[in-house]
Structure 1
Amino acid sequence: MPGGAVRRSFTFRGRARGRGCVGLRLGEGRCGVQHRGGVGGEREGSDSGQPTSTAHERTPSSREVMSRAPYVSGLSLEPSPALRPPHGRRWVRSGRGREVSMPLNRDVEIHVYRDANGYRLDLRSLAGDTSASIQLSSTQIMADLGAVKREVGLPAAPARDAGIEPAGTGQPLQDVGAALFGALFSGDAFALYRASRVEAERQNKTLRLVLRLPPELAVLPWELLFDESSGDYVCHRCSLVRYVPVPEPLRALTVAPPVHILGMTSLPADLAVLNADDERRLLETALRELRQRGLVSLRWVDGETWAAARDALISGCHVFHFIGHGSFDLATQHGSIFFADRHGNSEPVAAAELAKLLAVPDSPPRLAVLNSCLTGAGTAADAFAGVGSMLVRRIPAVVAMQFPISDDAAITFAQTFYTALARDRGVDEAVRVARIDMGRRSGTFEWATPVLYLRSQDSDLFHIQGDGDTPDAAGRPGTRVVPAELPPIPAVHVGRQRELGELDARLAANAGPDGRLLVLTIGGAGGIGKTALALHWAHSVQRRFPDGLLYVNLRGFGTEAPMDPAEAVRHFLTAFGIDDQRIPGDLDGRTALYRSVTATTRILVLLDNAVDSAQVRPLLPGSRNAVVLVTSRNQLGGLISDGATPVTLDFMSHADALALLTQRLGGARLDADAQATSDLLDFCGGLPLALSIVAARAQIRPRTLLASLRDELTDEGERLDLLAIEGAETNLRAVFSWSYKALTPQAQRLFRLLGVNRSPEVGLYGAASLADLPVNRVRSRLRELDGAHLLDEYRPQRYRLHDLLHLYAAALAEEVDPLDDRQACLRRLFGYYLDTAMVARAVLIGDQPSSNRSSGLTTADAGVRIPPIQNRAEAAAWFDAEDASLLAAVTNIATGDLAEFSGLLAWSVDNVWVWRGRVHEVASIWRNAADAADRRGDAAAIGRANRLLGLALLRLGDNAQARTHLERAAAQFAALGDPGGQAAAQMNLATALDRDGDPNAASQLANSSLLLFRTAADRRGEAHALKAVGRYRAELGEPAEGLADCTGSLHIFQQLDDLDGQADALDDMGRIHQQLGKHDQARELYERALDLYGQVGDDYGRADTLKHLGDARHALGETDSATAAWHLATELFRAQGRHHRVRLLDAT
């Protein structure tokens, strides 16, 4: 074997002495301990080798350790490397000045593993963490097996075998235990162990020592660990667990009472006679009280054969207790237990076979207790060779015996072990208590025989006792009351699979030893289905909560006042059977009693319709095994900051909404009028309550067509009134009102004003302008509305109301706010859109924003809040964010009281919308603006609207209509004496003439426009006109002159920092180079233009240039890249509705 390993040999001798054991012989060997400059250094103290009896614990000296341990040699403890704090811990300072981390449990975890230099130990504890190198020699830890058997496995009296010798002094066991202790606990490890034990005892807890060991070390008798500094065995003061590292550790099982214990006695005639009757009797006595209360059941297998065990185990149990004989065979290196065959003689069954059988039931046992000899023995080569270690691969916990055990010791163990479990002790603590009692009763060392194997992190394998101290309704202790208060599951429930999965995942993640009180909040708007989801999930997991299901409607939002937490706690105490006389009068007293009653329970508490976190906190139970589910229209930020997990409900998807209506009305009725169904779904907007009301109205009138119901709901002014049936809970306006009434007056006003806005969404600065408030003040009110789920902050500083809530807000505004106030709000909001759009447009095109204060739409003190826009990225982002709101504003302003300003607002968005390919919308807004200007008789507005409408139609390929509007615009501007306006109209008209095949007329108009722009001192207009002049000169046979004009235009655009204008000039220059056959230069110019278009987001210009780039690449023989460019151009043309360009491209 490799150096440093520990070898053990076993010899099968035949039948066992004592309780069904085989003889065991370990080869000779020793091990010792040696320090080599450890962190702690050597400790001072007596070197007498005897444990002290002083009141204070002391640390053994090196000589003491060495005198006790001729078995371990070559141990090296070195300073541990820097450790990062593991998850769930916090760094603190240990007593030696090192930074350590505080775990959240009572364990001292020791992980020993092999590395290149031998073994390494990692220790984690209450007091801190450390790591050390351990080198064990290849000598064996026990020099003589006979001495160990005399001291541990062979009791004094009464004996099951006449040949058993009296017990010895125990000195060899102390020596072995001290050696093992010194190997694990030296230097920092000892200091952390001692500090952890002191802290655990201070908290009235039992420290648990968890060993994770390689196979060659797992066979050693770690239950004998002896602490010389305190003069006692570690497992008398600490629970000791051998943790088996198997894949997929099992979680603790929630068991609805009773817990089923299956006992079996197998006493083959050819093996030693055991006193099984006494053990059965005492086990039944230990469990009598719990059996009478219905918390535990105990049944015995009828028979002693393998077949009898198989049939009984298949029917399932929670605990399997075996009384009989066991062995460990050296030849096969496998453990067995003995059943009787059909003749009554012994039939050994390998541990692997029993493990398979235990795993057969749907719910395998959580614990197996093998009260048989050598079921805890093993081999250094295989961690799973023994019976106990093999079984724990299939079930969470196994108690087995590593040495022979006598009848008396086995009976004492069983009685004390189950008595401790019956008092709700963990399985590790039950084993520790049983050890103490075994030693007290027999005066021997057989207490070292039991071994506890765990694959579960939690020693609370299941909850046996429940709330044993809960009084009954009359106040008598001892009667267990299990509340079951959940209302029925709603008749119809569809969708919400993501949310249900999230709740399931949170519950699963909270399982295990580090679990805590789990608080889950379900938030969302009124009518969104919070209670339905909570009830659906609670019913689906109710079996995990055997101690009760509590429910209360806290009336946070409704027709009644919110429930006082004291009243809710009283309700819960009554549900647990506490009579009125025992319930304190004050909230603190009631909460304390409630948490005491629920301290050890597995319960689910559903707190429905909470108003805020303060109402909920007193209702949180005292058990870490409990789950609290809270529904509320508020976000409950206080609970979330305390550690609660929020689950927020959104409105239903179209598919889920359709599924809900289908369940209620049937697919045939919906399919009969698919359009009406689609409209109804749109009206409800995925709000489950609205969908349920629509379905109920349709069910009440089964012969009415859905189209009739749709027609009734079409009128937005009537829709809320029609979405109501019997009772306030199914009246949408009433349901919304409960959330509205819970707001502060300031938030109520803002909510109403958001209804004045024609769009259901708004930005932070838009809301500030609407409400005439500073940004910081309106932000806090928006936060309140968001917290009440009356609007949704779907992106930072962007807010949206559900369509039905928007209708409700608008209705409230009409009822509460005077018309003048509402109009002033709209004026400020439109002023915000106009002023900010002008600024953003100017930044994008590199211009100075023209002041529109003289327009009368806004004034310096009008309450408009403009966000800072410093660069093109911020300008583009503002247009992106406000896109839908701008469309609503431009559309609505054209027909409202502010129609005179529609042209200004249209002007502010014209360029950006064209760049984004929204040419049809641009044409629509300019047509509205032109109509509004005509109604007002505003000559300047008529000229501007007709020019830009003509330009939009020109872009859409409607040359005839475009020329009509452009000619009217040119004449209007000429009459007004506006050279800049006249020049722009003429230049656009020149494009129409050119497309109609008259480049000469186009060239003349372009030259006239150039002069007019220069007269108006409009440099940007001059650059556009010069570019047009150059394009037409090239077209008319003067390419060199045309190229010079376009180059001059590019220079002006560069001076103005107009990137889009530069791209336009580069595109025209590229077309002239193509005309000259210089396709390389043309390709380069097009690529430069595409880069500039990309910087400003001009997809309109980009589409044209991509078409030209394809032409240049095709001329150069670059067929694939040409096709790619044409393909992209076609996609953009189609998206922009420029079908004439698609046809033109297809023709080429």
Structure 2
Amino acid sequence: MIALDYHPLDLNISKGSESSQNQYHASILENGVIAATHEFELRQDLKLYQMLRHIEENAVTPEPRPGETTHIEFGKMLYRDVFSGELGEYFNKHFNEAQDNNHGFRISLRFADDVPEIAALPWEYMHNGEEFLITRRNILLSRLPPEVKKIEVKPLDSILRMLVVISVPDDPGVSPLNTEKEQEIILEALDKLQKEQKIKVDFTEDATFENVQGYLNEQEYHIVHFTGHGVSRNGKGYLVFETEDRKARLIDNKILADLFSDMGIRLVVLSSCESAKGSNREAFGDLASMLSKQRIPAVVAMQYSVLDNVAIQFAYTFYRTIASGKSVDIALKEARIAMKNSEKSNGFDFAMPLLYLSDCNCVQVGNIKPEPAEFVSKPTMLSDLQVMKTGFVARKRELRILEKGFRSDIKRAAIIHGFGGMGKTVLATRLALKMNEYFDGVFGMRCTSTTLPGDILNKINNFLMMKGRFELNQILNQPAPLETKTFVLINTLNQLRFLIILDNFEDCLDENRKDIENPELKAFLQQLLNNTYTCTKFIITTRYDFDPLEGRLPESIEHISLPELHFPQTNWLMNNYTELADLDIRKKKQIYDIIGGHPWTIGKFAKLSSVQGVDSLMLDLKPLKKELMEFTLLEKSFSKLDSEAKKLLLYASIYDEAVPAEALSWIMGDEKDDSPSIVEPLQKLIQCGLISKEQEYDQTVYMEHTIVRNFAQDKLKKESLDKKKLLIRVGRYYENLADQTKNIWDILKARDYYFEAEDFESANEIVESTSDRLIRWGHIELAMNLLNESINSTSGETKTNAEYTLATIYHRLGDLNTALKIYNNIKYKYEERGSNRGVRWIAAVLHAIGIIHQDQGNYEEAVKLYNQSLKIKEELGDKSGIASTLHQLGNIHYFQGNYEEAVKLYNQSLKITEEIGDKSGIASTLGQLGNIHYFQGNYEEAVKLYNQSLKIKEELGDKSGIASTLGQLGNIHQDQGNYEEAVKLYNQSLRTFEELGDKSGIASTLGQLGNIHSHQGNYEEAVKLYNQSLKIKEELGDKGLIATTLAQLGTIHEEKEEHELALQFYFTAFKVFDILGSPYRELVQKNIERLEGKMREKEEKKKKKWWKIF
């Protein structure tokens, strides 16, 4: 790639002539001096909104749409509007000269504060008629608020440090992200750079605001990369963070801008990957602008979500180019080109990133200073201990806990305990390196079964003499009691800040691993810890947890249980081994899934794979397991457990995830005692390092390491324990938990355990009970997958019920033929069985088939089916079903214009739903009553009812219902001439319908947007939308909506004075409305009469004209 010189050029855009709100002023500035200007008009009409909607729609599609050129037309329009007249001539002349001299332009777009509507447009699509400006290597495009000055920060003197925050709140109001998938995207993008030591990356354990703040306060990061959701509320932008209990927490962009400012951060990347499903343009763009104003030199914000594969391509190319020493805007240029040329590109995603830039070289690395010596002029004695100065990964949380406790003087000692090979010693020495400036010196020694107080005193004395302290040395060889010598040592330790590490202390414990075996050593350690109350701190590492002070001063000693590493940290650890470093992320993930995140095992796997090969070793892990058993003493540890601890270890292996103590208690229970006490066996397992104790948000959870879980499950098989019974018991635990938490993901965990236990009936019951919520929240694919698994794993009535629920989804998606086929098949099966339960389902199927006939305009058949269904429901006393059918009968009267009868039925339905507390039914009926008021012209009452309905739907998370109500509110704005607000609501509605795959909703909304184009005289665009809508309605067989669209097309042709064609459309629409008994037939009849009158009048004029000539 040829290195170009780039000339800076500012393109300022502000309000133009006051005579028109659509007039804007553009000017080119070079070195702060205006070189050329141009006035242009850019109308904020529906055509512009429609182009933006098409761009947004295509931005999130997985594949390119052939022939789609909206973004090109939009880009040409922007370029043509701005680069015309004097400004265009100036730009073209100087650009051609620059090209001839092998130069380029570095264009900075600066939008005045009085043109937010213009700044919000995706200018990154500007197109000069030949290509997009942002994909030309001789043009670099970025943005900058007008009040922000360009700066030049000093080059970095260390390798790049990056903090990654992935926010995945467990909240039904937020589309879930796949944490592992998001981590893998970033890991795959940065893996090579990390191996080449060009970048250091930290992942936050969680995305609470306080945790992110803690990371930024601890270390200076040059890059912060956020993956998650942005939302815009009432014109304000927010990022979605997490709370301690993993709910969504909206953090105001102003607060975030304050958090990131003055922290040494040079680049912020705001990204939303595939599963975010939608636009973050307002929230991310708003924050990007704020961060730029807070003097953060570079901010990249994704305007829309991007596909995972393209996100990997973007991140890899962007960060690789930065790490190679290029400027941020050149790195973004290369990333855009890579995205555009990617096989996985949808053709729109290359323009998704927008860049705010005040210093293009802000993340360039200059002369890297050598890492400062870990210990400078401080006595250090760590000869027996493993120290990792480089290659250390993870354990950020544990380091923070230790450092906070020691610096505050609250903690005087810490016991780091855990399974063998988990990295206890490395963590202790890493803390020593991290707190080097705090401590006056660090001493460490490896303990053995023969270690005595004298051994420790002698070694510490040598250490103290290095510091020039000889008090202990003067008495050490005197015939004084051990207690006296210890007090001399304590007196010194209370004066100076030392860190003393006693490593491998498990060898000093007794047979039961609960107490120090040597009484003299026990007394010595107790005297040290009891009386060294300030300055000096102690760390004891051991496989087995114990209490050296036997219950005294518990608040003064920190106990840290080391869990195994999560995958991102394990990946970095693998990069330390030549045999594993060059494997791709997917292969590393396979290894992790098999052997877990146990550091010693990872190292041993690497060593063995150098002989056997990775794939061969993965197929036969016996050599690894043999060495693992010998090193970890797992079999020996298990043999020393009492029967209850053994039982808990085996039973707990059923859980795939970290769980609280109640879950472990539950799985140990039986019919006599649901949740027996597990305090003693759990403490024993923690003490032995066989179960790790972690803090997950505000909850303490426990989990077996992967190798321990595999060992325990092997034991389960050998001892012929009933694994299925245990899986079912875990399923019941999550069912009970879901009753308390009302969390759908808890109940779905229960379903997974039932399914694994082959209790398919219980698994299906959960699927049936959650499907409606999953669909309402937009998780349609998940719902269909679960239902298909139920259908394939069950039989009889259970299978039929699952088929019924699946049919309702097909119905919602507009595949009426498939839905009808399944419904009729189900009806036949239930009629054949003839059970009481079957009768209830027959009523449900009749109701569902009735809705399909209603949607297709076969009102007579629909009423017949509704009445059959209603009769059965009344006999069964099924209040919910009665209310639902009354509502549908009300709908038919509503469609036929019998509003009085419709209101009567709606009110009957509403009364029942209110009695039984059916919020969804209440919301639906309120919406229909609102529709009647709307058609009667009572807009105020309609809005009131729509808002009541909307509030309930938002509480329920009913995406489809929310979209429908937004469309209804849009209708009122359209009728009142508030087209801009109507379009905004229609587009919100349309996005949701498209996300849900709701064809009927899409068709209706396209028709409403067509109406606005028609009112504004954009007939060509209106016809286009009407035809799109008509095509979908014909697929659905929805006669009423087909007739409506035909009438709308007739209106346009009448406006265009194509009277014959208009009359044809009117007649066809009238015939359909007449068959349906719809009140719209009178409206169309009036149109026909009016048009025929026009045609007669025109014919008369024509005749008169000819008579005159004659």
TM-score range, shorter chain: 0.3 to 0.5
TM-score scaled to structure 2, two decimals? 0.47
Higher helix residue share: 2
Who wins on radius of gyration, i.e. which is larger?
1
TM-score (normalizing by structure 1): 0.45
